[in-house]
Chains A and B, each alone.
Chain A
Amino acid sequence: MSQASLFDPPTPDVGSVAAAISEASPPRPWQLVAALAFSAAFGLALGARFGALSMAVHAAAVPLGFVVLTLLAVPAFCIGMAHAGVELDVGALTRSVAQALMIAGRVLAGLAPAMLLLAVTCESAESVAVFGVLGLGLGSALGLRALFLGLESLESWTRPTARLLRVTFTLFSALLGARIWWALLPMFGGAS
C-alpha cells in the first residue's frame, strides 16, 4: 500500500478521520515542510499589496506563526489533557498535530488566490487586513478541528473534563495565534 501523501484527498467521511489518523504512519518531515510551505503561499498573497519584500516577509511570518503556535500551545495542551484525565498517547497526538498543520496549510493555500485578488484590488489596506484575519482564522480553525477529530479515538475523550479542555484550548490557541501573528505580520502592525 502506498504511503499517504499530503496531496492525497482526505478520507471520505469526516467521522472516520480519527480512525484514519490513528492507523496512519508517523508524519514525514517533508510533509510538515510542505504543509508550512502551503501556508506560506497565503502569506505571499497577503503581502502582495506592498511589494516583493513585503511578500517575502509575510510568506515567512505565516508558517513561522504556526510553528511558534504549535511549540507554545501543544505542550500546554498535553498538560491540560493529563489534568483532564485523558490518556496521553504521544503517537496519536503527533499524528493529529501533523494532520492539523496539513489541513491548515492546504486550506490557506487554497485561499491564497482569493487573498491575492483581494490584496491587490481592495481600495483600503484595512479591508485587506480584515480578509487576512478571516483567512488565517479559518485555516487555523479547520486545523484545530482536525486536531480534535484525530484525538476522538482516545478513550475518555468524551468526558466532560475533556470537553472543557477543548473549549479552553480553542480560546487559548485563538488568542495566542492572534497575538503571534499580530507581532509577526507587518500587515497587522507587527515587525517588518
Chain B
Amino acid sequence: MSAAPLLHPAELLRAPAQAVRRRCEPAQQAASARRDLLTIALGGLLFGAAVGSFRGGVQVPIAALKIPLATLLTLAVSAPGFAGFAGAFGRRWSFRETLSIALGAGARASLVLLALAPVLWLAIDLGVGHQGVRWLATVAYALAGLSALGLLLHAVGASRGRLATTLSFVGLFLIVGAQSAWLLRPFIGDPHDANVPLFAHGRREGGLVGSLLDFGADERESGSGY
C-alpha cells in the first residue's frame, strides 16, 4: 500500500517550513489546495460529529457539516484581509500564495481537531456536562489554532514586521472565525431545547461583541447553547 496519502499530513505537521515552500511554488499550489481542502473537510467532519454526539441523533451530521463549513467560510472571508496585511507589512506574497498558506494553516488546525475528536467523544461518553463540553471544544479549538499559528510563523519569516503580521492575521481570523461560528450555531445545542434548531436565527443573544460588552442585555432570550 502506498504511503502517499500520509505524506501530506506528515509534512504539514513535521516539516512546516517545507509545507510553506510547497505552497509558495505555483506549480504545486493547486494540488496542495486540493489536499488541504480535503483535510479541512475530514478533520472538521469528525470533530463536528464528536461535538454533535452530545445531543446525538440528527445533531451528529448537522454539527459534522457545520464545523468544516465554518472553517472554510472563515478562510474565504479572511483571505483578502490576510493579503492586505501581508502587503502592508512587506511580505511579497501573491494572492494565490496567501490563499495557499491560509489553507495550509487551516489544514494543520483541522488535523489537530481530527486528533482531538476521539478525546471529545470519550469525554461526552463518560458523561461530561454541557458546560464541560463547551470548554473542551474551546480548548480543542485553541490547540488547533496554536498549531496553525506554527505554520503561519514559518510563512511570515523572520524579517521586520513579523510580530505585527502574525498578530494581524490572528486577530482577523479570530474575529471572523468567531462570527462565522456564531452565525452557524448551535453546534452542541441548548440542553433546555426539546429539539435543537438547525440555526439559532431569531434568538437574540447579544451577538459576539454584544456578549462581550453587554449590549442589549434586557432584550435577550434563551441561549442557543452554542
Please give the residue numbers on chain A whose beta carbons come within 8 Å of chain B beta carbons, in ascending order. 9-17, 103, 106-114, 117-118, 121-124, 126-127, 130-131, 138, 142, 145-146
A146 / chain B contacts, CB cutoff of 8 Å: 88
Q: B161 at the A/B interface (Cβ < 8 Å)?
A: yes
A121 / chain B contacts, CB cutoff of 8 Å: 179, 182-183
Q: B224 at the A/B interface (Cβ < 8 Å)?
A: no
A112 / chain B contacts, CB cutoff of 8 Å: 80
Q: In the bound complex, how far is the Cα of B225 from the Cα of A88, in angstroms?
A: 60
Q: What are 22 A-B contacts defined by CB distance under 8 Å?
A: A9-B94, A10-B88, A10-B90, A10-B92, A13-B159, A14-B160, A109-B80, A109-B84, A110-B81, A110-B84, A111-B81, A111-B84, A112-B80, A113-B76, A113-B77, A114-B81, A114-B172, A117-B180, A121-B182, A122-B210, A127-B207, A146-B88
Q: B209 at the A/B interface (Cβ < 8 Å)?
A: yes
Contact partner, A13, options B86, B88, B90, B206, Cβ 8 Å: B90
A142 / chain B contacts, CB cutoff of 8 Å: 85, 88-89
Known pairs A107-B85, A110-B81, A114-B78; A122 contacts B160 (CB<8 A): no
Contact partner, A14, options B82, B90, B209, Cβ 8 Å: B90
Contact partner, B209, options A9, A13, A106, A124, Cβ 8 Å: A124
CB nearest neighbor in B for A135: B81
A117 / chain B contacts, CB cutoff of 8 Å: 77, 176, 179-180, 183
Q: In the bound complex, how far is the Cα of B175 from the Cα of A145, in angstroms?
A: 23
Q: In the bound complex, how far is the Cα of B206 from the Cα of A15, in angstroms?
A: 44
Q: In the bound complex, how far is the Cα of B76 from the Cα of A117, in angstroms?
A: 11
- Distance of A173 from chain B, by nearest CB (Å): 17
Known pairs A127-B215, A131-B209; A113 contacts B87 (CB<8 A): no
- Distance of B199 from chain A, by nearest CB (Å): 11
Q: In the bound complex, how far is the Cα of B92 from the Cα of A57, in angstroms?
A: 34
The SS class assigned to the B binding surface is helix
B168 / chain A contacts, CB cutoff of 8 Å: 138
Q: In the bound complex, how far is the Cα of B88 from the Cα of A139, in angstroms?
A: 9
Q: B91 at the A/B interface (Cβ < 8 Å)?
A: yes
CB nearest neighbor in B for A125: B215
CB nearest neighbor in B for A117: B77
B160 pairs with A15, CB closer than 8 A: yes
Q: B55 at the A/B interface (Cβ < 8 Å)?
A: no
7 more CB-based (< 8 A) A-B contacts, given A109-B80, A114-B176: A111-B81, A113-B77, A117-B77, A123-B210, A123-B216, A126-B213, A145-B88
Q: In the bound complex, how far is the Cα of B160 from the Cα of A113, in angstroms?
A: 27
Q: In the bound complex, how far is the Cα of B204 from the Cα of A121, in angstroms?
A: 12
Q: In the bound complex, how far is the Cα of B206 from the Cα of A146, in angstroms?
A: 37
Q: In the bound complex, how far is the Cα of B2 from the Cα of A174, in angstroms?
A: 59
- Distance of A135 from chain B, by nearest CB (Å): 9
Q: B51 at the A/B interface (Cβ < 8 Å)?
A: no
Contact partner, B206, options A11, A110, A123, Cβ 8 Å: A123
A124 pairs with B84, CB closer than 8 A: no
A16 / chain B contacts, CB cutoff of 8 Å: 90
A123 pairs with B207, CB closer than 8 A: yes
Contact partner, B81, options A9, A113, A145, Cβ 8 Å: A113
- Distance of A9 from chain B, by nearest CB (Å): 5
A113 / chain B contacts, CB cutoff of 8 Å: 76-78, 80-81
A106 pairs with B88, CB closer than 8 A: yes
